[in-house]
Amino acid sequence: MQLLSNYLKHHDTDLELVELIDTLMIACKEIALQLREGALAGILGTTNDTNVQGETQKKLDVISNDVLKKVLLDNPLVRGLASEEEDDPVFGNPNGRFLVTFDPLDGSSNIDINVSVGTIFSILEAPEGATDDNVDMFLQAGRKQVASGYVLYGPSAVLALTTGHGVNMFTLAHTGDFLLTRENVKIPEETKEFAINMSNHRFWEPSMRNYVDDLLKGAEGPRGKNYNMRWIASMVAEVHRVLTRGGIFTYPWDSREPAKPGKLRLMYEGNPMSLLIEQAGGISSTCYSDILDIQPDHIHQRVSVALGSREEVETLLQYHCDC
């Protein structure tokens, strides 16, 4: 089995990008250790604070965010970073080459019940000639990402990574190294699994309700096959399942906050996961257009998400085109 850094170098990955990914993994290994200790380390439960999203922060949200900030800002390659947990970006070396955005602990509502959570990250290059530390330098369409990935903290810690040349998975070994365990991941084009929060059914657009209702009709319905539904409430875990065995995951617009295009965040969740999905042969969409083509206008911009097996996402898009 190949070490992460050796694998990347062997495949002609930019050496500075390799160094930055190694730096990210130092932080993720520390987060994995904190999670493994759990209640023994006193890190479960919530704080008295809310983040910029208006969500109550878990203790481990704060710990994970602090670990990533400290480790990344110690690397001179980092021009700046932006976190789902922070109001504004934080800037590092003015001569740094890269920008990093991240969700430090996706699915943190699951921490106290010991269900899988994860860290999502996206790497961009700082725009050439940008001399001022300004949030605008982060506002790049997802197709400009030079790398993205996540670390799933489950029974094992697994890194799913793309540098724009396919998706590979690496597992954290007892030695502290990430070792290649799955190369050139491809999502099956067909599926019988879908993941959505059914409790929101009454708030969806008619097109989304019609699509899910037809799935639930099973073999006797218009889709002609029986589907299983999954819902973990952790995007990392949902996407990992899609990458591993196919499926569709969607978190659509709903009418409770109609001015918001969706719940998930474009820069910290939508873009990095969409790059992974497309690099593995799947589709990632807002239900109307490709997520990676969106030009962001805000660092905490939200987005509707439907991603996964190509045939299933294309069918979902057809339901929306017909309305």
In the chain, the domains with their CATH numbers are 4-182 (3.30.540.10), 193-321 (3.40.190.80)
**Does the annotation place 269 within a ligand binding site?**
yes
Six-digit token string for 60: 């481990």
**What 3-state DSSP class applies to 298?**
coil
d(CA 305, CA 321): 16
C-alpha span between 299 and 81 (Å, rounded): 11
User: Phi/psi class of residue 93: alpha, beta or left (left: φ > 0; alpha: ψ in -120 to 50)?
Assistant: beta
- The CA distance from 154 to 35, in Å, is 10
pLDDT recorded at residue 178: 98
Confidence at residue 251, expressed as pLDDT on a 0 to 100 scale: 97
> What local confidence, expressed as pLDDT, does residue 132 receive?
83
Structure tokens at 224: 């002609």
Count Cα atoms within 13 angstroms, Cβ side, for 209: 10
Whole-model pTM: value is 0.94
Distance in angstroms (rounded) separating the CA atoms of residues 270 and 194: 18
C-alpha separations of 128 from 76, 142, 186, 211, 286 in Å:
17, 17, 34, 44, 30
- The pLDDT score that the predictor gives to residue 112 is 79
Provide the residue type at 303 as one letter: V
Distance CA 210, CA 244 (A): 27
Q: Is 161 annotated as a binding residue?
A: no
Distance of CA 32 to CAs 37, 148, 155, 160, 172, Å? 9, 19, 11, 15, 9
107 is in an annotated binding site: yes
231-261 per-position pLDDT tens digit? 999 999 999 999 999 999 999 999 999 999 9
Judge whether 104 and 64 are in contact, CB under 8 Å: yes
Answer yes or no: are the C-beta atoms of 157 and 171 closer than 8 Å: yes
Q: How many Cβ atoms from other residues are within 10 Å of residue 135's Cβ?
A: 13
* 255 assigned to a ligand binding site: no
Tokens of residue 107, six digits: 């699915």
**Contact in structure between 272 and 144 (CB atoms under 8 Å):** no
Instruction: Determine how many CB atoms are found less than 10 A away from the CB of residue 148.
Output: 25
Asked whether residue 207 is marked as a ligand-binding residue, the answer is: no
pLDDT at 34: 86
- Give the separation between CA 284 and CA 308, rounded to whole angstroms: 7
pLDDT of residue 288: 95
pLDDT for the residue numbered 40 = 47
The verdict on whether residue 68 carries a ligand-binding annotation is no
Distance CA 312, CA 316 (A): 6
Convert 179-206 to b/e letters by CB count within 10 Å (16 or more is b): bbeeeebebbeebebbbbeeeeeebbbe
* pLDDT digits 0-9 by tens, 303-315: 999 999 999 999 9
Tokens of 305: 């998400």
Reading the chain (323 residues) residue by residue, the pLDDT tens digits are 899 999 999 999 999 999 999 999 999 999 999 888 765 455 556 655 555 555 556 688 889 999 999 999 999 999 999 999 999 999 999 999 999 999 999 988 887 788 899 999 999 999 988 878 999 999 999 999 999 999 999 999 999 999 999 999 999 999 999 999 999 999 999 999 999 999 999 999 999 999 999 999 999 999 999 999 999 999 999 999 999 999 999 999 999 999 999 999 999 999 999 999 999 999 999 999 999 999 999 999 999 999 999 999 999 999 998 65
Q: Is 217 annotated as a binding residue?
A: no
Nearest residue to 147 (alpha-carbon basis) of 166, 130, 132, 171: 166
Q: What is the spatial distance between Cα 22 and Cα 178, in angstroms, rounded to a whole number?
A: 10
161, 6 contact by CB (below 8 A): no
- Judge whether 108 is annotated as a binding position: yes
